[in-house]
Amino acid sequence: MPRFAANLTMLFNEVPFLDRFEKAAAAGFKAVEFLFPYAYAAGDIKARLDQYDLQLVLHNLPPGDWDGGERGIACHPDRVQEFRSGVATAISYAQVLNVPQLNCLAGKVPAGVSVEQARQTLIENLRFAAAELKKVGLRLLIEPINNVDIPGFFLNYTAQAAAILAEVGADNLFIQYDIYHAQRMEGELAATIQKYLPQIAHIQLADNPGRNEPGTGEINYPYLFALLDRIAYAGWIGCEYKPAQGTEAGLHWRTALTS
């Protein structure tokens, strides 16, 4: 049976962030993830995790100016020092929150920067981040994201991510495989997951079109969930979708599509 983690950035967003932990637990989730913890004190988040007996399975490194439209700075040649400072900040949160892995958003290729320059910057930043995370026993992830939702995003394909893993050469660097983004960019979901399973440490889901809950679109989730069981995927599946008609109203998919 797949293990589902509530993405608190997307789910239960009718209530303030720190109140979403209670909502997730009441809905039967045992684990949560979210984009960023940095607007809150680590101790306040840890208190909610402990209060509701929830495991935090993922959050991201600082992304630059998110509200201003930035989606990561790891491929920005002029932001290397900021990236490294962000790694230290993320580690400090991770150690309080007991999260086992952090995701690094590659970012959009900046104007005036070549694709090759962006790639080399990303490679060096990932080497640095992986080494720093390894010192404290953490995994580092990179996530291919579709370039329709985020035009200009550097990392779009699973094979591209695997090639970067090979070049970085860090044994704690893995792929975060988002089914929604993968469907929009490349399809072949089952074959791709099987091919890259040893390099996939975390999976996220949403249906397409619309990025709503499983069962609302074209993706055959019962088949994929059965496949993940059959190939013994051992990680969590983050529910990073936009509820079509409220989170609780749509949660029946967890039993309807996995039984």
Q: What type of residue sits at position 234?
A: A
Q: In the annotation, is 240 catalytic?
A: yes
Closest CA to 215 of 197, 236, 239, 235: 239
What is the four-CA torsion angle of 65, 203, 144, 230, rounded to 10 degrees? 180
Q: In the annotation, is 124 catalytic?
A: no
Q: Which of 22, 82, 143, 167 is catalytic?
A: 143
Q: Which of 33, 167, 240, 248 is catalytic?
A: 240
Report the catalytic residues: 143, 240
